[in-house]
Structure 1
């Protein structure tokens, strides 16, 4: 896969779909990589030039020292768009990717045509919880990433999906185990510090908010908070936990297509 040379390392990305089609950028969640969108690609690539990438600290992208910020991760997206000579794009991000989407909608409104915020919130969790996870991963390294596996399955998927689709659940959770501990901890800090509760009204792009009714991390109530503050925003809820795009695959993709084609 191609990569973009940033000032401090390479950002891994992949493009699917016709060169002349409208551009859709897909942004992964904390602890996954661009492969989390595999289920969506066949349908999306028929109508869009789909650009997906490994967020800094994930997959085959650069891992830099120190804590990251959502502004830094959003700037990486703008650098990628600039390098690909893309003036405007639709953006779909899940969880941490949704925080990046909010930052882009607030700080680069001229670049975003449509915004899809999936299983996310204007503020995710609290500092104490994130600091505990950061300390655990920094102290335990790769073993700590392996230890996170079982708890992560329970957060990312409903019990019925994990039981019915064990291979798919394992495929996605394996991305977490393979994630750089340093990169994961640095991104935990970015999520910890991301807070757009007072800035949502600045978002101008057409916005769709996707929630999972069984998502204990970013709840439908978190979605309604955003929907009530972003002018004209719509919300759709699926019976799913945190990774709704994986759990309800085709229905998620169809809702995304229906929104993006308006």
Structure 2
């Protein structure tokens, strides 16, 4: 996969679909990488330019020394889209990526014409929760948080079938410094006031079994944005693109059609 060589950072990204089509940009959850969207990509309209990238500290991107700020993560996304000459994209912000999406939409409305916010919020958790997770990773590596993370992320049915195993493995392979850096960024983020100023089309997608960002939290964030709509996927956890790729692709495609992006 190609690398975007930014002045102080290399970001790993991948582009699928039509080279000159309307752009849709995808982010991933903390501790994972762009492969979480693998099952969704072939289900989306072929006319789209589908761009995925690894956050700093994750996947094939560089791992600067922690801590990171949310401003830095937003700036990474901004510079990547400038590097790729992307304007008027639909930005799919999942989990920590939803915070990036909100920050980027406030800063660069020329780059972002609409949002899909999935399993995210204007503020995710509280600082003490993130400090606790940071301390556990510092003491015991990624394995120290793997089991409770799987329980928060995936539905009981999905875990009972052992389908979370590849994603546990991916989490365990995450560079601890990258996880710690991004955890600091989440801990310091509160976008309630800035997100409430957004007026662009937004689809807020929530999983009924999400233990990280429960549906009421996602709906609360959607309610901040004028022109947003909320959709609940039943029986699905924090990562609908993994548990329910067909339903996720259908929700996104319907939204893109409604706003004239396809």
Give TM-score, length-normalised by structure 1: 0.94
2:134 aligns to what? 134
Matches of residues 7-46 of structure 1 in structure 2 within 5 Å?
7-44=7-44, 46=46
> Structure 1 residue 5: deviation in Å?
0.9
> Structure 1 residue 22: deviation in Å?
0.4
Matches of residues 50-199 of structure 1 in structure 2 within 5 Å?
50-140=50-140, 144-164=141-161, 166-167=162-163, 169-199=164-194
1:202 aligns with one of 173, 185, 197: 197
* Whole-Å separation in 1 of the counterparts to 2:208 and 2:32: 21
> Structure 1 residue 45: deviation in Å?
5.6
**TM-superposition CA deviations, 1:117-148 (whole Å, max 9, x none):** 000111111111101111221233xxx21232
> Structure 1 residue 47: deviation in Å?
2.9
* Whole-Å separation in 2 of the counterparts to 1:234 and 1:212: 15
Superposition RMSD in Å: 1.3
**TM-superposition CA deviations, 1:151-190 (whole Å, max 9, x none):** 22111111101223x24x2222222111100010000001
2:249 aligns to what? 253
- Unaligned regions of 5+ residues in structure 2, if any? none
* Whole-Å separation in 1 of the counterparts to 2:85 and 2:209: 39
* Whole-Å separation in 1 of the counterparts to 2:14 and 2:231: 28
* Whole-Å separation in 2 of the counterparts to 1:109 and 1:9: 24
1:237 aligns to what? 232
* Whole-Å separation in 2 of the counterparts to 1:125 and 1:28: 18
* Whole-Å separation in 1 of the counterparts to 2:189 and 2:47: 32
* Whole-Å separation in 1 of the counterparts to 2:238 and 2:101: 17
* Whole-Å separation in 2 of the counterparts to 1:184 and 1:42: 29
Q: Which one has a larger percent helix, Structure 1 or Structure 2?
A: 1
Aligned-partner SS, 2:30: coil
1:217 aligns to what? 212
Query: 8 Å contact 2:40–2:245 — kept in the other structure?
Result: yes
**TM-superposition CA deviations, 1:84-125 (whole Å, max 9, x none):** 111221100110011111111212122111100000111111
User: Judging changes above 3 Å, is the alpha-carbon distance between structure 1 residues 45 and 172 closer, same or farther for their aligned structure 2 residues?
Assistant: farther
* Whole-Å separation in 1 of the counterparts to 2:70 and 2:85: 23
* Whole-Å separation in 1 of the counterparts to 2:93 and 2:224: 18
Aligned-partner SS, 2:110: helix
Aligned length: 257
> Structure 1 residue 206: deviation in Å?
0.7
